[in-house]
Amino acid sequence: MQAINPATEEKLEAYQDHSDAQMTQKLEAAHEAHLVWKKTTFGHRSKLMKEAARILREKKKDLAVLMTREMGKPVNDGEEEAEKCARVCDYYADNAEKFLSNENIISDASNSYVSHQPLGIVFAIMPWNFPFWQVLRFAAPGLMAGNAGILKHAPNVPGCAQAIEDIFLEAGFPDHLFTNLFIDTDQAARVIEHPLVRAVTLTGSTRAGKAVAKKAGEYLKKVVLELGGSDPYIILEDADLDEAVKMCATSRLINNGQSCISAKRFIVPQSIKTDFERLLVESMSSYKMGDPMEQDTQLGTMAREDLRDELAKQVDDSVAKGAKCLLGGKVPEGKGFYYPATVLSDVKRGMPAFDEELFGPVASIISVKNEEEAIAVANDSIYGLGAAIFSKDVKKAEKIAAEQLEAGACFLNSFVKSDPRLPFGGIKESGYGRELSHHGIKEFVNIKTVYVK
């Protein structure tokens, strides 16, 4: 496997693919490591996980450069990602024992309770957009619960994949407990089939999620899926428009717009549409696009040429169907897989900018007559990952967020983000299951009833 620097188009270090025989050997070694690891104390696991957090912080500048070179993330964002990974390691090091402690239940038994036992090998298929965070948010709770981890990372971030395995080894985790595999899609299917693999987690596209769910279902493997999203942001008439636009632009351009939970559809009443358009164009045009290695760059490159070209086609098709391009919308000349901050207005059903996920720095503005139509439009999507609503009437907006928006996470007067303390995941074609919080660590344990008469 070989990454290509998306800013310079140069080929980076190549990594040797694993053969089927090597893959099987690594699965067997991971299982043996798990059999020993599951007998360790939470105190021992916590000590090692704290050390992993320390290493992540110590090496965050180097890790950020690695992320930037392989997938184009602005280097400052990479440092923030490494720090966030350290926080999730600390969080589960501090809380795993509490989350997985026995739960006493009153029944007709002399004593009855629920215990939480590790499953074994959890196979993770992870994406490139947050190449460390996506992995650590499965690995930290999984290892603290007593499981082993096998990683198939995206092929364009092989160095990041290897670096994660190296961090766990440096922190003192047993050999083979967390293992990176350089394998292709067909081999990944065979990993799911393997009897030593007990569960699967995937973050990626809806198409990939359906394929993994089908294979996991065929072999009765537990699976958690965090898939695509087309998050709606509703701006009500009474919203603080300046603050709302700031949140909207920040969310839309995080990670060069390549985030499943970034703002994608901006739903505004006709009465404030003109002001919202003006402010959003001003805000998004102020972001500096350039070399992601430069400290002042806010908008780097897209991760791959094919992804950039697909986004450009979605924008062009939307404009051809009647959307108005208020900003950007053209592939710049020169090297690198750059795409500018883009604002589309008058977006309607039947356009890619309405119906599909635009995985890049493109904002879709949809105008509505009233609050009821705004909610209906927000829910008019195959996706249900995140949603946000902006209003000074907090009580009314909270009721809409809590009861009427179809999403796994609904934020009020802020942009949607993941936090180790809060459960994360979606509904509809955004997937099922939860990561993070106490919910996430309980996805991959045997929730066992113990009944004593």
Q: Which positions are annotated as active-site residues?
A: 226, 260
**190: confidence class by pLDDT, cuts 50, 70, 90:** very high
Assess contact for 371 and 390: CB atoms under 8 A. Answer: no
The chain-wide mean pLDDT, for the chain, equals 98
**24: confidence class by pLDDT, cuts 50, 70, 90:** very high
Name the DSSP class of 335: S
Q: Is residue 334 part of a domain?
A: yes
> What is the model's pLDDT at position 176?
98
Examine the domain organization and report whether 168 and 265 are in the same domain: no
> What is the model's pLDDT at position 116?
98
Segment 209-217 shows an average pLDDT of 98
Examine the domain organization and report whether 209 and 246 are in the same domain: no
**273: confidence class by pLDDT, cuts 50, 70, 90:** very high
Give the pLDDT confidence of 122-176 residue by residue, as tens digits: 999 999 999 999 999 999 999 999 999 999 999 999 999 999 999 999 999 999 9
Q: Is residue 212 part of a domain?
A: yes
Q: Is residue 424 part of a domain?
A: no
**180: confidence class by pLDDT, cuts 50, 70, 90:** very high
Tell me how far CA of residue 387 lies from CA of 346, 383, 417, 427, in angstroms.
20, 10, 10, 12
CA 453 to chain centre: 45
> What is the model's pLDDT at position 179?
98
Alpha carbons within 13 A on the beta-carbon side of 170: 14
Query: What SS3 state is found at 328?
Result: coil
Sign of CA dihedral 82, 86, 91, 96: positive
Domain hosting residue 10, numbered range: 2-227+430-452
**386: confidence class by pLDDT, cuts 50, 70, 90:** very high
**43: confidence class by pLDDT, cuts 50, 70, 90:** very high
83: exposed, middle or buried (C-beta count within 10 Å: 0-12, 13-18, 19+)?
middle
All residues at 6 or more sequence positions from 14 whose CB lies less than 8 Å from its CB, including other chains: 1, 2
> What is the model's pLDDT at position 382?
97
Segment 361-379 shows an average pLDDT of 98
Q: Is residue 145 part of a domain?
A: yes
Examine the domain organization and report whether 373 and 259 are in the same domain: yes
Give the pLDDT confidence of 108-119 residue by residue, as tens digits: 999 999 999 999
* CATH code of residue 315: 3.40.309.10
Segment 59-74 shows an average pLDDT of 98
**396: confidence class by pLDDT, cuts 50, 70, 90:** very high
* CATH code of residue 157: 3.40.605.10
Examine the domain organization and report whether 79 and 169 are in the same domain: yes
Alpha carbons within 13 A on the beta-carbon side of 171: 29
Assess contact for 445 and 119: CB atoms under 8 A. Answer: yes
Give the pLDDT confidence of 406-446 residue by residue, as tens digits: 999 999 999 999 999 999 999 999 999 999 999 999 999 99
Examine the domain organization and report whether 155 and 256 are in the same domain: no
Tally the domains of the chain.
2
> What is the model's pLDDT at position 394?
98
Segment 34-52 shows an average pLDDT of 98
Examine the domain organization and report whether 193 and 246 are in the same domain: no
Assess contact for 145 and 37: CB atoms under 8 A. Answer: no
Determine what percent of the chain is predicted with pLDDT higher than 70: 100
Q: Which residue has the tokens 């990944």?
A: 188
Examine the domain organization and report whether 190 and 247 are in the same domain: no
Alpha carbons within 13 A on the beta-carbon side of 422: 12
Helix pair 273-285, 241-253: axis angle to 10 deg: 50
Tell me how far CA of residue 301 lies from CA of 64, 77, 97, 126, 295, in angstroms.
15, 13, 41, 20, 14
